[in-house]
Homo-oligomer: A and B are copies of this chain.
Amino acid sequence: MTSLAVAPELDAAGVRIAVDAMGGDHGPTEVVPGALDHARAHPEDRVLLVGDEARLRAIGGDLPANVTIVHASQVIEMDEHPARALREKKDASVLVACELVRNGDADAVMTAGHTGAAMAAAVLRIGRLPGVDRPALAVQMIRHGAPFVLLDIGANPDSSAENLAQYARMGAIFAERVLHIENPRVALLSIGEEKGKGDLRIQQATELLDLSGLNFVGNVEGRDLTGSQADVVVTDAVAGNVVIKFFEGLSTFIFDLFRAEFGGSIRGRLAYLLFRPSIGRIRSVFDYERAGGSPLLGVRGSVIITHGSARRRMIGFGCGVAAETARTGVPDLIAAALQQGTAVAAGPADPVVPAEASA
């Protein structure tokens, strides 16, 4: 890996974002333009494009002054087994990006690559926060009024009830420190509000959360995700991932329906002209690309994982989330809250289990 001297001209408010330029379904053809969009819009930040130098240079063309290429000769493909791939590909772009953060040469990582590999790379190279067993992917979801935090949306399949309780704690700290929600209400996603419902893991996690010292308001259903019952909703990777991707599919589906109706007749086109300002407002509510990406809570650095299918626009917003997470110092806030044992961080400490790169 090339040695770096990337920050001499860095503005006080600027941060350095290591972008895994090779990851994702579309690879550098979408990631590079998206990252450059961020670099041009935010000259105070520095963007480190990590990947095959020749290829990135060919795609990037004349790079802005605040963009540097950091060579990495390997890529972890979307269908590889993450633990095996990380063992065999020591110069993979996602690993090199994480090493930049570990070595103090970058402040954040942004990747559209394999979620499992990104999480494992972050745990192996950057490490978990003290007291954190498994990091979790969090997302801010829309609803009437303020957003809420949903986690885990895909970092850890096969989470235990204890893991879910810890996600609740990290989510509450995120809601309190980053969203500035006092004493955030925490809920567990289930198939009914009654305690006996849900699978065994949900029932066990409910008992743990009852005793957690968190402001646990009980179990909520899928329909409550558009309501305002809770500020933090905890679920496992499968249900969380299905929800978030279903929302995205449905958003596209709905706008396709409206587009067909507005375009289908003169009457529709006239209605569209009258209704255009409203359409803009409604569309912005469902603009999931603007969410950019999800912070991986529980690691010692700012790591943002976005969709494998993300294209240029979403990648650009993802770099924005990475910059904001690093600027806010989210990992430090979570670490401090866990150490201080504040209201949301109180409760029995979880044992630190040795890092194991999981699928």
Contacts and interface: CB of A to CB of B under 8 A. Distances in A.
A224 B250 CA distance: 9
| Most-contacted residue by chain B among A78, A191, A192, A244 (CB, 10 A) | A191
Interface stretch (A92-100, A170-178, A255-263): A255-263
Main secondary structure of the interface of A (DSSP, over half): helix
Interface string A217-238: 0000111111100000001111
Interface in A235-268: 235-239, 241-250, 252-254, 256-258, 261-262, 264, 267-268
A15 to B, nearest CB: 30
Nearest to A359: B196
A197 to B, nearest CB: 7
A79 interface: yes
Interface residues of A, number: 66
Contacts of A103: none
Contact of A261 (B237, B254, B278): B278
A234 to B, nearest CB: 12
A195 to B, nearest CB: 8
Contacts of A264: 278
A17 interface: no
B79 A194 contact: yes
A161 to B, nearest CB: 13
A238 B200 CA distance: 11
Contact of A222 (B195, B244, B253): B244
Contacts of A274: 267-268, 270-271, 274
Given A223-B252, A246-B247, A275-B275, 6 more contacts: A158-B199, A191-B237, A191-B238, A239-B242, A243-B246, A274-B274
